[in-house]
Amino acid sequence: MFLALLACSPSDPLDVEWRQEEVSGVAGVIGAMTAGGHVVGGLRDDLTVSAGVLGMATASPLVLETVADADVGRFCGCALHDTTRDEVVVFGGRDGDFVRAASAERIDLGSGEVQTLTGAEDVGTIGCSAVFAEQVGYGYVFGGGRGPFSADTWRYDPADGTLLLLDAPGPSARYDTATVQLPDGDMLIASGMGDGPTFHTDVWRFDVDTETWSELATSGDFVGRRFPFASLGPDAAFLYLGFGSDDPAGQSVLADLWALDLETGAWSPLETELPRARGFALSLPGPEGSLGTMAYGGDGQLRLVDDAWTLWVR
């Protein structure tokens, strides 16, 4: 009986480990935008900017393949995957001249057709956050920087490609948040950098049904940062967040891992052997049963960290 109970006992979601992934298909990038299993753009090791749209051919080993090309190469923006139309929409970021790309594009993954969205100048920010909520049929874009930081929340309507600024007070102005999507379609953001600079430690949830923000009460000594790795745990009970940069210019990067209990709001530092420090890495879905894959990223001198690691519960 004891052995049977032991065999059926659930794993501890705070007992995790990183396992290195083989990665192939394309050269590594820094600061690319991710949308589900898709990767858009990014800064290459030679400091040129990619316009490629990549899909995950396999998760383990990690194979990325080019499925389309955007008209504008960019990095450090945000993107969403419209799952009903199989389109990727990319907003803002920096272009090949390292200045703000104040624009947005929708890319049909079937035909490769690219359409520039009109009226997207204010939505095309650096370091924005975006999700597509299939449940309501809209995309949502929050924050970023366009000179001053933004606290705006926009609704994207794929039916006609329009963008509407919502009256949705919530998080303070910031960019480079950790962004994940909950199973019900809601957007969850954590941390990010705002004026000061301030590296925020707060966590917010955007309800796509009511189009309102609510703050999660949290406790613990979590360290704020920008552009971290982030993923959800089994049953979306925990947010796993780590790495990223604690410097306004990205000149220092972190190597740590935290878990946020989304029911109690408690942050816990996780003790586990860590990959090399990095910021601006890709947060990808990872193999089935995993907690997600962290791929590539940059060190404090904007040099490519050319490897990938998957997080697992032991």
What is residue 10's predicted lDDT score, i.e. its pLDDT? 59
179 in Cβ contact with 162 (< 8 Å) = no
> For residue 6, is pLDDT > 50?
no
Mean of the per-residue pLDDT values for the chain?
95
pTM (global) more than 0.85: yes
pLDDT in tens, 53-102: 999 999 999 999 999 999 999 999 999 999 999 999 999 999 999 999 99
Average pLDDT over every residue of 48-55: 97
Residues facing residue 180 across a β-bridge: 188
CATH number attached to the domain at 12-313 = 2.120.10.80
At residue 36 the predicted structure's pLDDT band, cuts being 50, 70 and 90, is: confident
> For residue 15, is pLDDT > 70?
yes
What is residue 110's predicted lDDT score, i.e. its pLDDT? 96
> For residue 212, is pLDDT > 90?
yes
At residue 11 the predicted structure's pLDDT band, cuts being 50, 70 and 90, is: confident
What is residue 2's predicted lDDT score, i.e. its pLDDT? 39
d(CA 217, CA 54): 37
d(CA 104, CA 116): 6
What is residue 4's predicted lDDT score, i.e. its pLDDT? 43
pLDDT in tens, 112-133: 999 999 999 999 999 999 999 9
297 in Cβ contact with 279 (< 8 Å) = yes
First-last CA distance in the chain: 23
What is residue 8's predicted lDDT score, i.e. its pLDDT? 40
Give the number of other CB atoms < 10 A from CB of residue 134.
15
At residue 29 the predicted structure's pLDDT band, cuts being 50, 70 and 90, is: very high
Average pLDDT over every residue of 253-280: 98
